[in-house]
Homo-oligomer: A and B are copies of this chain.
Amino acid sequence: MQEKKRIVVIGGSAAGPKAAARAKRLDPDAEVTIIQKAPEMSMASCGYPYYVGGVFDKRSALLSTPYGEVRDPHFFVHTKGVQARTETEAVAIDRQNHTIRCRDLNTGDMDYVSYDKLIIATGARPRKPPVPGVDFEGVTTLQSMKDADFLRKIRDDKTITKAVVIGGGLIGIETCEALQLSGIDITVIEMLPQILMFLDWELAKVLENHVRSKAANVITDVKVAGFTGDDGRLSGVKLENGTELPCQLAVLAIGVVPNVDLARDAGLEIGQTGGIAVDEYMQTSDPDVYAVGDCVELVHRITGKKTRAPFGDLANLEGRVAGENAVLGNRTTFPGTIHTGICKVFDFSAGSTGLSETRARQEGYDNLVTVINASLDKPEFMGAKLLISKMVADGDTGKILGVQCVGPGDVGKQIATAAMAILGKLTVADLVNADLPYAPPFSLPIDHFIATAHLMENKLQDRLKGVSAVDVKKKLEADDKPYILDVRTPEEFETMRLGIGETLIPIGDLRGRLEDLPEDKNHEIICYCKISLRGYEAARVLESLGWKNVKVLEGGVMAWPYEREK
């Protein structure tokens, strides 16, 4: 009789336990063991910012199933049939002998665990800037349950008044919100020219403005020079431009580094992006070793290139694939990522799937067409909220390469819809007549997503001459200024306006006020409204009346990333 298969999983956060549970389910005879360094297992680490910010108070919710069972070793044994050793470090992998040397972190005792198939899920650790003072008390990350406990205590104790978050990425912005909700005065520092690099600049700017409106300060384009302190306790953050920001807390959120030391020391191949190299079966360079989660590199499904995507959802899916292949042999594949992501930013959400314009250009696409669409997510009488989307398409094939969406509206649905469209390799022509669910509580008759595709189609067919806010700004700084035409109502103009030298002619009055327009029919005219639907109509009217150089400001007033007069 064949011996029971021994499956060992190193790492007990997301991908590891999923792989272990899947392996055990598909081969109930297998002996499955998880080796986990931390005292906790299966932590809902993406939930830390919401616990820190007081969105919920029950710490155990981060460590339990939805039915209130704590996912501890007892749970794994009794519910999953999986052995779990917590506070145990995998020190070395001996691939020749199929053993792992382990250290009990409480006793320091060493022992060996044998495997037939090994699954590495060692995750990633927060990147730390190589600057003075980074080890001061008061400088932390938000990566572990311990970090979450530390920051939650700060909220509960109300001891701290000023904090700085280093890094304006996803985790940085979520942390910013959490601390701001705790009543702490926050500054976010970002070394790049924008926050949330998965967005293009103009959408990121909309978010940045929103963060500022919530009384959190954001400083972009500046690096941290170091931390100042008294007696080893943090007292401030020093920027490279000389500014010093006094604070009692600094949270580092400048990205993560995959934990590949164990794999590298064992001679496994490390990929060019720094993650463990795996094939479509999630198998490493050793057929008896799989790797999953934040420590691996994946294929980008659009570019075909290697990339890293340290996200909790993918970790679970990868774990599921590796768990199956480890017990049944390579039979199921993981296709990679399209970098779908989303985060909540106070009352706004920001999401992206596929390639941003910036990223697509870096990848060498040279016939890109982009469009920005701002509209409500449902009829105003149903309590609508604004959505601002940017769609990126390949001008040669019409294929959708990416969609970004920000605003207070239902961003999650937009991005899920777009992600599925990209996975289906759909073109703009496919999307313009998509059959999406419509009823007033859920969407506009023409869903925002389809409306974005309509604008894109108009642009691809050269019916919509769109111009981005960035380009309008440049034109305004040049000598040969365009004629700027706001076609909203006087009431709207009173409430909110750009103040860039525009003339107000409400769309309904346009045909009767042609004398106010430039006499020279070749003069450039840029039309807009709140979101630029009426702007588009105005442009068509002017073109029909003989003006030859009429453009539309994409996204209108709502997507204008710069300061407004009002």
Contact = CB atoms under 8 A, between A and B. Distances in A.
Contacts of A301: 435
Please indicate which of the listed interface residues A46, A79, A416 has the most CB atoms of chain B within 10 Å of its own CB: A416
Contacts of A78: 507-509, 511
A57 to B, nearest CB: 9
Interface string A318-357: 0011000000000000110111111110000101010000
Nearest to A463: B26
A79 B416 contact: no
A430 interface: yes
B79 A508 contact: yes
B419 A437 contact: yes
Contact of A416 (B29, B68, B413): B413
Interface in A441-493: 441-443, 445-447, 449-450, 454, 463, 488-489, 492
Interface stretch (A31-39, A91-99, A540-548): A540-548
A500 interface: no
A419 B437 CA distance: 8
Nearest to A450: B317
A426 B81 CA distance: 34
A335 B434 CA distance: 9
A438 B313 contact: yes
A503 interface: no
Please indicate which of the listed interface residues A317, A337, A443, A511 has the most CB atoms of chain B within 10 Å of its own CB: A317
Given A321-B433, A380-B66, A28 B81 contact: no
Contacts of A29: 544
A469 to B, nearest CB: 21
Interface in A330-389: 334-335, 337-344, 349, 351, 353, 376, 379-382, 384
Given A450-B317, A540-B28, A340 B50 contact: no
Contacts of A463: 26
Contacts of A426: 420, 423-424
Contacts of A450: 317
Contacts of A208: none
A425 interface: yes
A543 B312 CA distance: 31
A436 interface: yes
A58 B379 CA distance: 13
Given A75-B508, A321-B433, A423-B435, A446 B66 contact: no
A70 to B, nearest CB: 11
A44 interface: yes
Contacts of A81: 511, 541, 544
Interface string A510-542: 010000000000000000011000100100110
A415 interface: yes
Contacts of A342: 437-439, 442
Interface residues of A, number: 104
Contacts of A406: none
A410 interface: yes
A29 B353 CA distance: 40
Nearest to A449: B416
A536 to B, nearest CB: 8
Contact of A47 (B341, B382, B410): B382
A79 to B, nearest CB: 5
Given A44-B381, A78-B508, 9 more contacts: A62-B381, A66-B379, A69-B489, A313-B438, A342-B439, A415-B437, A416-B437, A416-B447, A423-B435
Interface of A: 14, 25-26, 28-29, 44, 46-47, 50-51, 55-56, 58, 61-62, 66-69, 74-75, 78-81, 174, 301, 311-317, 320-321, 334-335, 337-344, 349, 351, 353, 376, 379-382, 384, 410, 412-413, 415-417, 419-421, 423-426, 430, 432-443, 445-447, 449-450, 454, 463, 488-489, 492, 507-509, 511, 529-530, 534, 537, 540-541, 543-545
Q: Which 9 A-B pairs have the closest CB atoms?
A: A424-B424, A28-B544, A342-B437, A313-B438, A420-B420, A61-B381, A78-B508, A413-B413, A412-B442
6 contacts: A47-B382, A47-B440, A62-B381, A67-B534, A341-B439, A415-B437
